Amino acid sequence: MKPNFSLRLRIFNLNCWGIPYLSKHRGDRMKRLGDLLNMESFDLALLEEVWSEQDFQRLRQKLLPAYPAAHYFRSGVIGSGLCVFSKHPIQEFTQHVYTLNGYPYMIHHGDWFCGKAVGLLVLHLSGLVLNAYVTHLHAEYNRQKDVYLTHRVAQAWELAQFIHHTSKKADVVLLCGDLNLHPKDLGCRLLKEWTGLHDAYHETRDFKGSEEGCTMVPENCYVSQRELEPFPFGIRIDYVLYKAVSGFYISCKTLRTTTGHDPHSGTPLSDHEALMATLCVRHSPPQHTPDPTQGPAERSRLISVLKEAWTELDLGVAQARWWATFAGYVIGLGLLLLALLCALAAGGGVREVAILLWTPSVGVLLGAGAVYLFHMQEAKGLSRARAELQHVLGRAREAQDLGLESQPALLLGQQEGDGDEEQ
């Protein structure tokens, strides 16, 4: 690679709102999305909420000349909704399905059935290794009383860990997607602090688009105005995040968003706004390589957000265990009731009533059993994230105590025990 190496990357991201039978004007919007992608010829288009694989296949056919490589990430019952179209060959791909993703009995929310995941693509561009991630975290249905907050924090942690462990040899890391997190939300800060990813909206000097970079705006006719009421400009929950490692420098030259309506036909492409970023990768002296764990200020921020996330996960573990215990009691009572009904049925007298009550009792028992199993699994999943987080927190604290501010590799290389990660 030449010392004056420079690479320009044009990235597109959109949550497509492609729910069969439910999303308005889906076919037309998908068609216009294909036209836009063909016209603009991005290096990489990362899409979320393409729930129908037929929609993906149609797009694929349409985009084949301009984007010869494509992949749909399958998971869950419905599919992850994630897919990618690339101008460049995809060297490798894999995915990680989040351990926790809502509750199966919240059928009307449906997230559990989707198998929300993070997809990874490895691309080799002019000798540079690019790890591109695309993801979609659990939706937020009620910001005031968010029952999925813990799951989203656990997902943000799993996402950060997946990126951390799979991108160690990458030169450039790119993450696009619908995080369902506002910029200052715990999950978003946790993700950024632990991975060292930078937010294109904050980094670019050339931004054009919706007010404050919002990706769900009241101007969009598909957006529920009631839900956006507390946010006059809208909310920013879709992101282009990036970082460069190992002697490269990356910057965001331009960032554009759509603004709630399509300039040609008037109706927008989705209920979310599209993000279009132009990134520039150059060689840089090693000291210019950003390192999230370098300075004391960064470390202090990391420790603070890790503590906050630990507390949230700890609360989640306690709540999951409470539900499992409650279900356990219901199972116990259900068994007692069944025994009683058997005795009554055998003894005569109220035999008909006993027989009629038998089936609902078995139903309650099976239901409670399922709830017990689910929340036991939830508790294990949250405990796992909490243990990983606590380990990182312990190491960050030791690094802070040692005050070795000039050793960037400290956090990833120091030799200390991890005797307290199981607390």
Of residues 360 through 389, those in contact with a second copy by CB under 8 A are: 363, 373, 376-377, 380-381, 383-384, 387-388
Q: Determine the longest span between alpha carbons in the chain, in angstroms.
A: 93
The CB-of-60 to a second copy minimum distance in angstroms stands at: 7
Q: CB within 8 A of 103, min separation 6: which ones?
A: 112, 374
| Burial class for 307, CB neighbours closer than 10 Å (0-12, 13-18, 19+) | middle
Mark the segment that binds a second copy (CB under 8 A) among 28-36, 190-198, 227-235, 414-422: 414-422
- Distance between CA atoms of residues 15 and 42, nearest Å: 16
Residues 422, 394: contact at Cβ < 8 Å? no
Q: Which is nearer to a second copy, 65 or 349 (CB)?
A: 65
The CB-of-219 to a second copy minimum distance in angstroms stands at: 36
Binding flag, residue 343, a second copy (CB under 8 A): no
Out of 144, 145, 349, 422, name the contact with a second copy by CB under 8 A: 422
Of residues 289 through 318, those in contact with a second copy by CB under 8 A are: none
- Distance between CA atoms of residues 261 and 1, nearest Å: 42
The CB-of-359 to a second copy minimum distance in angstroms stands at: 4
Collapsed DSSP state (helix, strand, coil) of residue 50:
strand
Binding flag, residue 233, a second copy (CB under 8 A): no
Q: Which is nearer to a second copy, 72 or 201 (CB)?
A: 72
Query: In 371-390, which positions are buried (b, 16+ CB within 10 angstroms) versus exposed (e)?
Result: bbebbbebbebbbbbbebbb
The CB-of-291 to a second copy minimum distance in angstroms stands at: 15
Residue 159: φ, ψ to 5°: -60, -45
The CB-of-269 to a second copy minimum distance in angstroms stands at: 24
Residues 201, 11: contact at Cβ < 8 Å? no
Binding flag, residue 353, a second copy (CB under 8 A): no
- Distance between CA atoms of residues 416 and 156, nearest Å: 26
User: Whose structure tokens read 């951390």?
Assistant: 164
Of residues 112 through 131, those in contact with a second copy by CB under 8 A are: 113, 115, 120, 124
- Distance between CA atoms of residues 389 and 307, nearest Å: 9
Q: For a second copy, how many residues bind (rule: CB under 8 A)?
A: 58
Of residues 164 through 223, those in contact with a second copy by CB under 8 A are: 165-166, 168-169
Out of 58, 261, 301, 391, name the contact with a second copy by CB under 8 A: 391
Angle in degrees, CA 205, 206, 207, rounded to 5: 110
Q: Which is nearer to a second copy, 403 or 413 (CB)?
A: 413
Q: Which is nearer to a second copy, 115 or 234 (CB)?
A: 115
Residues 197, 242: contact at Cβ < 8 Å? yes
The CB-of-93 to a second copy minimum distance in angstroms stands at: 7
Binding flag, residue 58, a second copy (CB under 8 A): no
Q: Which is nearer to a second copy, 40 or 416 (CB)?
A: 416
Q: Which is nearer to a second copy, 67 or 201 (CB)?
A: 67
User: Whose structure tokens read 């399958």?
Assistant: 74
Residues 48, 180: contact at Cβ < 8 Å? no
Residue 213: φ, ψ to 5°: 70, 20
The two structure tokens encoding residue 376: 């036991």
Q: Which is nearer to a second copy, 113 or 249 (CB)?
A: 113
Q: Is 272 a catalytic residue?
A: yes
Q: Which of 151, 272, 288, 391 is catalytic?
A: 272
The two structure tokens encoding residue 142: 């009620």
Binding flag, residue 416, a second copy (CB under 8 A): yes
Binding flag, residue 96, a second copy (CB under 8 A): yes
- Distance between CA atoms of residues 266 and 260, nearest Å: 9
Q: CB within 8 A of 97, min separation 6: which ones?
A: 75, 76, 80, 115, 116, 117
Cα-Cα end-to-end distance for the chain: 48
The CB-of-187 to a second copy minimum distance in angstroms stands at: 18
Out of 19, 66, 69, 139, name the contact with a second copy by CB under 8 A: 69
The CB-of-320 to a second copy minimum distance in angstroms stands at: 12
Out of 79, 213, 234, 316, name the contact with a second copy by CB under 8 A: 79
Collapsed DSSP state (helix, strand, coil) of residue 78:
coil
Catalytic residues, by residue number, are 272
Q: Which residues bind a second copy (CB under 8 A)?
A: 57, 60, 64, 68-77, 79, 88-97, 99, 113, 115, 120, 124, 161, 165-166, 168-169, 359, 363, 373, 376-377, 380-381, 383-384, 387-388, 391-392, 395, 412-419, 421-422
